[in-house]
Structure 1
């Protein structure tokens, strides 16, 4: 039986994406939970914003969804990154799958170190090095020295509330 490089790459991607738990949260390098305001993702808590712990569900194609606490079941949101850019990782609007140009909603997985990846790359970052209480998480798909790497550790949910 022969396998092409493309077929093997696809199989490896599916295995990586499939290794994500069905439901999980993310933990930052300093062991703080990763939070969301329903549109963007943050490390740290800014009390001027209404945020909650980010709990994601994995899909078969490496897609990730978020459902806000108390929302109707059909109000899930898809996580996406904008490829080849440095831009905030974001969620679609509830009840909508619409994404901007060059957005990617699939290919999320976890590497051997337990960090969230997209396309096999753990290219997540935060803006700057200051002391703001909450740092927005970005996809680091292009070079910019203003950003600092941020590893997002996958933590499986073992309870309903995670």
Structure 2
């Protein structure tokens, strides 16, 4: 079976579109960086909280890890969601892989639009009401009209400043 160069280029492009970069940050719809306090992710900045830009490292099984600035290398944390719920995307405690019941730490990816996904779904949301300066990012795995979609754009640290 022969493949044309065009077919091979298309295949390579499809594979790269579905693969997360090795190291990346996330940006909200308004291109502001997604921040973290080491436990949760936020869109917007609340100066009363100690936050920093969320920079993630991807694993081969769709796992995402976070290491806070200045932390020892073994203090990495896993990102997890709780499927079939509307709940904050969260990080494990440093030095621990323990997650709550029904939590999932694998299956993260990126879609053709460059948005972070889980299981192929870009179902991230924020509380749509209130004037808080920082909105907590949630996994929207169940219906709740209080929340509105939050697109999380993947920003490759190899090609952009992280």
TM-score for the superposition, normalised by structure 1: 0.87
CA shift at 1:158, angstroms?
2.6
Which protein shows a greater Rg? 2
Partner of 2:27: 27
- Match of 1:74, SS state, is helix
Partner of 2:94: 94
CA offsets, 1:120-149, max 9 Å, x none?
000000012332110000000000000010
Partner of 2:156: 156
Partner of 1:51: 51
Q: Which runs of 4+ in 1 moved over 3 A?
A: 15-18
Give the root-mean-square deviation of aligned CA atoms.
1.7
* Contact in 1 for aligned 2:18/2:112 (Cα 8 Å): no
Using the alignment, how far apart are the partners of 1:77 and 1:17 within structure 2? 25
Q: For residues 62-101 of structure 1, what are the structure 2 equivalents within 5 Å?
A: 62-101=62-101
Partner of 1:128: 128
Partner of 2:139: 139
Which sections of structure 1, spanning at least 5 residues, go unmatched? 1-14
Using the alignment, how far apart are the partners of 1:16 and 1:84 within structure 2? 28
